[in-house]
Structure 1
Amino acid sequence: MKVFITILALAIASASGAAVPSAVEKAVNLKDISGRITNGYPAYEGKAPYTVGLGFSGGWWCGGSIISNTWVLTAEHCTSSAESVTVYFGATWRTNAQYTHWVSRNDIINHGSADIALIRIPHVDFWHMVNKVELPSYNDRYNDYNGWWAVACGWGGTYDGSPLPDWLQCVDLQVISNNECAQTYGTGTVRDNIICVRTPDGKSTCNGDSGGPLVSHDGNKLIGVTNFGTSSCTSGAPAGFQRVTYHLDWIRDHTGISY
């Protein structure tokens, strides 16, 4: 018998109590939103200089990844109904960024049929606290990364129901096959554009981590964009990400970035 599990996107409304609009949920057909790095570890300053915080005008928080001097990659369920976003660069303490940029809706590109989005940012210079993460090359576009280890980082809650933490958290997770992931979520959710990780001992992405990076230990390449999990992030169920290799053409067509 198939076990049905409610899948939750991983954005979170701010403490102001503002509700996340239903349009934010449509890309993954969800009823609610949730998410956090659980049972991870505090990041040292400069560990993940490609990670940005995204504070949206509607009152919710997500993460993203710098992929060039002028582009950030994130999840569409974060951006789909946003009128604007403030990008926090080089923050280890969540709201104590090296600097911020405000971006209007005109500089947000939503995919439309997958839970991934681009944000065009003013040019930023790179240094040890603010830097890009490289995308996989076209030579890796058919690599499923099964068994690879990767690191996910974000400012999502650190336990079920927790507030957003102040300090950036990271967790090391192992990629699993889509067949294994589909045993939990079904093949209708786990398609070729999805990459999943195991979440042993309550270690997982889960509120506020949406859109954040999954970066391979080997080669330090961005292989996933945080998307979904279950209602309890410590349940041991897999966590799901958009598979970046699947979207290389789309990213190149909008940004010119390719390797």
Structure 2
Amino acid sequence: MLFKSFLLLFFLFSFGISKAEESDCGISPSLERYKEYNQNRIFGGENSNEGDFPWYIWMYADGGKGCSGTIIHENWILTAAHCVNEAEHVTIYYGSVDWKIMKTQKTAALQYFVHPQYGASGHASNDIALIKLNGTLEFSDKVQPICLDSNVDSPLNEILTQCGMGSDFKKRNGSNTHFSHDILQDAPIQHINSSICGKNGKEEYICVGGVNHAALPGDSGGPLMAIRDERWVQIGVASTYSASNYEGESISINVKNTYINVSSYCKWIKEITENVVQC
């Protein structure tokens, strides 16, 4: 009996170690940088460094519509439903913060899964989708998955983090124009009351906002992140934004973003990926 007990303990211990090794997600140099920020301030966006957010991907649907997304497994991407809904071809770019490099590293979608209730209860409801890749990503310091967690909670006023390569605003010839970034941008942003985004009391949404920083066109599908237990955890998927008060040579703009709350969809993610991705 003692021998059997020893074998059982050995098996459980070994299994636990292997599971920990397999779940090496959410690790990057940007953890230290963001932990050092003054949490009483909101900072503007800045260029990301190589390897800061190795789960970030950029994608084009049908060759034109640009969106963001995240690596959650070597075969799976998480993004927004409106980025891939009714698309025939989706190309994914990854492995760098620099578009000049990223555009040389691409893969294709084998299949994508839009949430079955997308748009069922209003604009952008259940705006979440999964992409199964036509191949397997090779992980490195520049290609890594982000963590998901069904139990993660973000209190109001917490400073969260977003990143993307979407549009920005700049005043040119007296008018406000869009321009795109060639380098991945990241910035802290504050968790605000969901009623400000018109989503009062709806747990499937997370509302964030501030001045001169936000997820804008092209950032849809990208991550809203929090640091938990020395790892980055994705708590939201960028869905919609609203902006007002454009002023100045660069921008002075009040922005509100609605993110889809990932923890509300963990069961669906597990089902679609056939238990490969869990949170």
**The TM-score by the shorter chain falls in which range?**
0.7 to 0.9
1:108 aligns with 112
1:147 and 1:84, CA in 2 relative to 1: closer, same or farther beyond 3 A? same
After TM superposition, the structure 1 stretch with the greater mean CA deviation from structure 2, 41-50 or 51-60, is 51-60
1:217 and 1:144, CA in 2 relative to 1: closer, same or farther beyond 3 A? closer
**Which residue of 82, 89, 92 maps to 2:87?**
82
Matching of residue 149 in structure 1 with residue 153 in structure 2: no
**Which residue of 261, 264, 268 maps to 1:243?**
261
Q: Is the 8 A contact 1:71 1:119 kept in 2?
A: yes
Residues in 2 aligned to 1:79 and 1:244: alpha-carbon distance in whole angstroms:
17
Matching of residue 194 in structure 1 with residue 205 in structure 2: yes
Matching of residue 124 in structure 1 with residue 142 in structure 2: no
Matching of residue 162 in structure 1 with residue 175 in structure 2: no
Identity over aligned pairs, percent = 27
3-state SS of paired residue (2:163): strand
Residues in 2 aligned to 1:229 and 1:109: alpha-carbon distance in whole angstroms:
23
Residues in 2 aligned to 1:72 and 1:91: alpha-carbon distance in whole angstroms:
16
Unmatched 5+ stretches in structure 1: 1-37
Residues in 2 aligned to 1:85 and 1:226: alpha-carbon distance in whole angstroms:
18
Residue 220 of structure 1 aligns to which amino acid in structure 2?
A: W
1:254 aligns with 272
Matching of residue 203 in structure 1 with residue 221 in structure 2: no
After TM superposition, the structure 1 stretch with the greater mean CA deviation from structure 2, 92-101 or 82-91, is 92-101
Deviation, structure 1 residue 132: 0.4
Residue 145 of structure 2 aligns to which amino acid in structure 1?
A: K
Higher strand content, 1 or 2: 2
1:194-217 Cα distance to aligned partner (Å, 9 max, x none): 011122x31111110000111113
Residues in 2 aligned to 1:145 and 1:222: alpha-carbon distance in whole angstroms:
15
Matching of residue 134 in structure 1 with residue 151 in structure 2: no
Deviation, structure 1 residue 144: 4.1
Residues in 2 aligned to 1:43 and 1:65: alpha-carbon distance in whole angstroms:
15
Deviation, structure 1 residue 91: 2.6
Q: Is the 8 A contact 1:164 1:207 kept in 2?
A: no
Alignment of 1:179-190 (within 5 A): 180-187=193-200
Residue 112 of structure 1 aligns to which amino acid in structure 2?
A: P
1:184 and 1:126, CA in 2 relative to 1: closer, same or farther beyond 3 A? closer
Residues in 2 aligned to 1:191 and 1:73: alpha-carbon distance in whole angstroms:
21
2:96 aligns with 91
Residues in 2 aligned to 1:156 and 1:244: alpha-carbon distance in whole angstroms:
21
**Which residue of 231, 236, 249 maps to 1:224?**
236
2:222 aligns with 212
Q: Is the 8 A contact 2:197 2:258 kept in 1?
A: no
Residues in 2 aligned to 1:165 and 1:147: alpha-carbon distance in whole angstroms:
28
Aligned CA-pair RMSD: 2.1
Residues in 1 aligned to 2:112 and 2:156: alpha-carbon distance in whole angstroms:
31
3-state SS of paired residue (1:252): helix
Residues in 1 aligned to 2:233 and 2:49: alpha-carbon distance in whole angstroms:
19
Q: Any runs of at least 4 consecutive aligned residues in structure 1 with deviations exceeding 4 A, and if so which?
A: 231-234
3-state SS of paired residue (1:161): strand
Residue 217 of structure 1 aligns to which amino acid in structure 2?
A: I
Q: Which has the larger radius of gyration?
A: 2
Residues in 1 aligned to 2:278 and 2:138: alpha-carbon distance in whole angstroms:
20
TM-score, normalised by the number of residues in structure 2: 0.70
TM-score, normalised by the number of residues in structure 1: 0.75
Residues in 1 aligned to 2:218 and 2:144: alpha-carbon distance in whole angstroms:
21
Greater relative CO, 1 or 2 (CA 8 Å, sep 6+): 1
Q: Is the 8 A contact 1:39 1:158 kept in 2?
A: no
Residues in 1 aligned to 2:183 and 2:151: alpha-carbon distance in whole angstroms:
36
2:46 aligns with 41
Q: How many matched pairs?
A: 211
